[in-house]
Amino acid sequence: MPTFLLLRGSRALAAAVLALLASAPARCASFGQVIAAVKPSVVGIGTYQPSRSPAIVFVATGFVTGDGLSVITNAHAMPDTLDSEHNEALGIVIARGDKLDFRPARVAALDRLHDLAHLRLAGAPMPALRLGDGSNVEEGQALAFTGFPLGMVLGLHPVTHRAMLSAITPLVMPSLSSRKLDARVIAQLARAPALIYQLDGTAYPGNSGSPVYDPDSGDVLAVLNMVFVKGLKENAISNPSGISYAIPVNHVRALLQQTTP
């Protein structure tokens, strides 16, 4: 039976390429240059507990935007609870060669209806991706996404895939459970459904939260959040359907404007 599976998972050069993309005419940079500029802003999302082995557990992909201290990922990847008694913390994971760095983050806002989470970092800002103009997105458009398709199984190495926007369809959230419903979400579900992007592109469980962007500019146009699965959810890896879904960027903009709790 078909199912939908919610996906769970050199700075100087990058700065130079970002400057090039910001100042050069459209379609001037190569796709390789765009990828080089995007990768430093793509991070792992996970939890850290010093007494645990492994200490870091990967849960999703995320990306930095805004002032360099805002991280966007999927709401479904957020842990329901943290083991504060044993100092478990939520944050981002960054690869430093063969080592992993963990930076704590707090949940600034959640949009469970559109499956988005906004995390805030403390400390020095990171390279940030620009949010694109979602009003110009159209079916047939070429897209790309960068993330961690298998989490940290093969090391934390960002992987880029090409995709095409194959359809703009009503949003379906089959895994939304009753414990995550509140009055606001129920009221929104009663209205006309929001739209979601269906992509002709293969994604895997760790790609949850990956930025979906214009391959010519690097501007983020959506956030990857689930994949269509043929049969059992294990088939997402062994027999991928090539059909993925992403949340339009306008919902990211709305989330960033919410008041921080």
**Residue reference for tokens 């504060």:** 84
Distances (CA, A) of 203 to 36, 161, 168, 227: 20, 8, 18, 7
CA–CA–CA angle 204, 208, 212 (5° rounding):
95
Whose CA is closest to 212, among 32, 42, 29? Answer: 42
Distances (CA, A) of 22 to 37, 130, 216: 11, 10, 12
- Give residue 249's identity as a one-letter amino acid code: V
What does pTM read for this prediction? Answer: 0.80
- For the chain, which residues score pLDDT lower than 70? 1-28, 172-192, 228-242, 259-261
Alpha helix (H) residue ranges in 109-240: 183-189, 235-238
**Residue reference for tokens 């240059």:** 33
pLDDT for 7: 61
